[in-house]
Structure 1
Amino acid sequence: MSLLPGRLLTSGAGAVLPVAPIEVDGHTMGSESLLRYLQIKVHHLIQEQPWDSIRVVGGYDRRAVISQYEKNGKLFNWERPTAEVRDRDLLVKAFPGTDYVRHYGLIIATYLAMTGRPADHITYQLPDPALCRTAVEQLNLGLDGELVIVGWALEHLAPAGAVWTRGSGYAWQRTTVHGRRVVYLGFRHSIWGDVAGRVVRRLAELGAGDVVYVGKVGALVPQIEPNTMLATGNESLVNDALVTWNDFFGDFASAQPGVHTGVHVTSPSILLENRDWLTKHAEYAFVDPEIGPMGMAARNAGIGFGYLHVISNNLARHYPADLSNERHRDVVRRRAVLIGRIRDIITNRLAAHLS
């Protein structure tokens, strides 16, 4: 069974499917930045030695071999897929989610091709929907109408010095802001793509009143320099259909200086965002894998949802900062300023609700 470069098949759970590397020359990141991005994502066992076969599956297994490239100095979003050695074969275990399993398969295949190694032995196996649901159902905390803030930079958004209560793969803390009960919720593992939608659905089941997602998006508008502005909105293109949700921020966030608003595009993998993809979506403003599934889940559950993200990279024009050098000192400094702006906007939005 053959697979065209960069194409992801949509067969059902359990099928073992081959994955081929993308055409690097057409990718919006450019080959140099793309390779740097892949090098910090690919498990060290894959970078260090050849394997007869590599299969990516859905499975949250911290007992398997942990990658040496995990950024474990962070409180959240630092766990990466683990690996289980089976003689000359390698089983790579990603957190159960269709988008994440496919995405990581593309990462491995493209990395191997870019480093001059065979990539025709890479496969992925889509996780069963029941496994995906069960993995997210490990999230269990009592909620009663709270605003839940989930995502990135939470350690800088939550009250300083407060103790995080730890669960299975996640941690949270509760506070009150201008009379509204607020829960900050972070995950050690990635909640990529459809996983993020399941997280919102689970939060609604547990009693959340609103969910705000703080993270990073890519800009599709050439003039926006990375790490200088924030993004917000209440619409996303998901599988070529426009999804709209009840925006927690209303018009408040978009009216603030330094905040760009527009229609978002949901993309299941950064590896698929080539020049043809960009041309097709040039009329839109932002891209990431999570916002659309989260907004759709919130809409279906009847709760409010909003996002307020750092614009971290630009697909339409080359800038020095991109997804391959996020640990650079200047990038970190600029993002710290924007995180402060996110904190202020959320706080002021809650204060405005009282007036």
Structure 2
Amino acid sequence: MTSLIAAPGLLRASPIDFHGHTMSPSRLLRYLEIKVHDLIQDKDWDSIRVVGGYDRTAVVSRYEKTGKLFNIERPTATVQGRDLVLQAFPGADYVQHYALTIATYLALTGRSADIVTYQPPGQEQCRSALDTLALDLDGDLVIVGWGLQHLAPTNGVWTRGHGYAWQRAEIAGRRVVYLGFLHSIWGDVAGRVVERLAELGAGDVVYIGKVGSLAPGIEPNTWLATGNTSLLRGSLVSWDDFFGDFAAAQGGVQSGLHVSSPSILLEDRDWLAQHTSSYAFVDPEIGPMGAAAHTAGIRFGYLHVISNNLTAQYPADLSNERHDDVLRRRAVLVDRIRTIITRRLAGHPARSVEGTR
């Protein structure tokens, strides 16, 4: 999907074969239209380059999400004559994913994708991008991810930082911090979030999000997913699971092996055939987060909505997540997530801070 071009460190982003993708071309186009900056959808450019950066003073896409608190920001754009530079929050997976998103969108709309390149951010840039995350933690459970405005206490106050917001609560005698990001924490960025939270003193990290199912017959937005092992860059990684066996034993929860994929654009039917017999779920973040927690010596757990199924075409998928029926079903699942976390905390006291290191 990529090839080297003349400039050092610069890669060309080639569009995927959208006829071979697990989403139909029409649904894939709808998904891409939600993500691609309006300056790309409305104008032609001599070149489009995606780089790592977080600059909200640049041109913000008019297609950014509304109606929710977190994960609303998309890469911003800087116009340089006939050339366009997109700045995605620094992460190797996210920069590649967004470049593939643009290239595939251009191909699907009958335009040349040869103009799309990307420059993977360096390790130091990726690490330092989260230096502004500053919380005073002392063995706290940090719940990060999706749906936090519905999981956190309704009377709580969100304190805003640079690209994130948080609030504190106490659940079953345990200190809990809800942490949401305005920008995407896609792929390896999420792993660095866990690494940073461990540095700040977190005792446990729980990630709430969405996964795709690799198992036939699992209808989207009707089940939750959990587990403690992911296939990450070709190797299995496991972690000390915050939920233990508790979440998997609850009604409406599927447990299984997870695959970490840097981009849904790479999840075509060939990819599915290689993974569907052994693995249950896919998303970009769980593996990097679990690996970071394992390295840091803290517990990690995930409890996700199964948002789509790669094995069959269901009415709900990643292209229509804002539909009323999808939102209604997910609201029920968020209530279930809240209940499971509360029961987990009530039945299993927190370990000492020393015990989590």
Q: TM-score range by the shorter chain?
A: over 0.9
Deviation track 1:180-201 (CA, whole Å, cap 9, x = no partner) reads: 1000000000000000000000
Alpha-carbon distance, 1:317 to partner: 1.3
Which of 220, 223, 228 matches 1:226?
220
Code of the aligned partner of 1:337: V
Which of 161, 181, 185 matches 1:167?
161
Match of 1:123 in 2: 117
Q: Report if aligned partners of 1:72, 1:78 keep a CA contact under 8 Å in 2.
A: yes
Alpha-carbon distance, 1:72 to partner: 3.0
Which of 310, 314, 320 matches 1:325?
320
Q: Report if aligned partners of 1:229, 1:260 keep a CA contact under 8 Å in 2.
A: yes
Q: Distance in 1 between matches of 2:156 and 2:233?
A: 40
The alignment partner of 2:207 has SS state of: strand
Match of 1:352 in 2: 347
How do 1:1-355 residues align onto structure 2 when only pairs under 5 Å count? 7-8=1-2, 15-282=9-276, 283-354=278-349
Q: Report if aligned partners of 2:230, 2:286 keep a CA contact under 8 Å in 1.
A: yes
The alignment partner of 1:40 has SS state of: helix
- Give the gaps of 5 or more residues in structure 1: 1-6
Q: Distance in 1 between matches of 2:210 and 2:306?
A: 6
Deviation track 1:245-294 (CA, whole Å, cap 9, x = no partner) reads: 00000000000000000000000000000000000001200000000000
Q: Distance in 2 between matches of 1:10 and 1:343?
A: 46
Code of the aligned partner of 1:173: Q
Code of the aligned partner of 1:239: R
Q: Distance in 2 between matches of 1:79 and 1:222?
A: 33
Q: Which deviates further from its counterpart, 70-79 or 178-187?
A: 70-79
Match of 1:4 in 2: none
Code of the aligned partner of 2:291: M
Code of the aligned partner of 1:326: E
Q: Distance in 1 between matches of 2:318 and 2:40?
A: 21
Q: Distance in 2 between matches of 1:284 and 1:240?
A: 13
Q: Distance in 2 between matches of 1:102 and 1:134?
A: 19
Alpha-carbon distance, 1:302 to partner: 0.1
Q: Distance in 1 between matches of 2:270 and 2:101?
A: 19
Alpha-carbon distance, 1:14 to partner: 6.2
Aligned residues: CA RMSD: 1.4
Code of the aligned partner of 2:76: T
Against the structure 1 CA distance between its residues 225 and 10, is the aligned structure 2 distance closer, same or farther, given a 3 Å change threshold?
farther
Match of 1:3 in 2: none
Q: Distance in 2 between matches of 1:118 and 1:353?
A: 56
Alpha-carbon distance, 1:131 to partner: 1.0
The alignment partner of 1:175 has SS state of: strand
Alpha-carbon distance, 1:130 to partner: 1.0
Q: Report if aligned partners of 1:72, 1:79 keep a CA contact under 8 Å in 2.
A: no
Alpha-carbon distance, 1:173 to partner: 0.4
Q: Report if aligned partners of 2:141, 2:203 keep a CA contact under 8 Å in 1.
A: yes
Alpha-carbon distance, 1:10 to partner: 9.5
Q: Distance in 2 between matches of 1:136 and 1:271?
A: 26
Q: Report if aligned partners of 2:2, 2:11 keep a CA contact under 8 Å in 1.
A: no
Deviation track 1:151-189 (CA, whole Å, cap 9, x = no partner) reads: 000000000121101000000001110111000000000
TM-score (norm 2): 0.96
The alignment partner of 2:104 has SS state of: helix
Code of the aligned partner of 1:55: R
TM-score (norm 1): 0.96
Q: Distance in 2 between matches of 1:305 and 1:8?
A: 33
Alpha-carbon distance, 1:64 to partner: 0.4
- Give the gaps of 5 or more residues in structure 2: 351-357
Q: Report if aligned partners of 1:196, 1:290 keep a CA contact under 8 Å in 2.
A: yes
Q: Report if aligned partners of 2:130, 2:192 keep a CA contact under 8 Å in 1.
A: yes
Q: Report if aligned partners of 2:4, 2:11 keep a CA contact under 8 Å in 1.
A: no
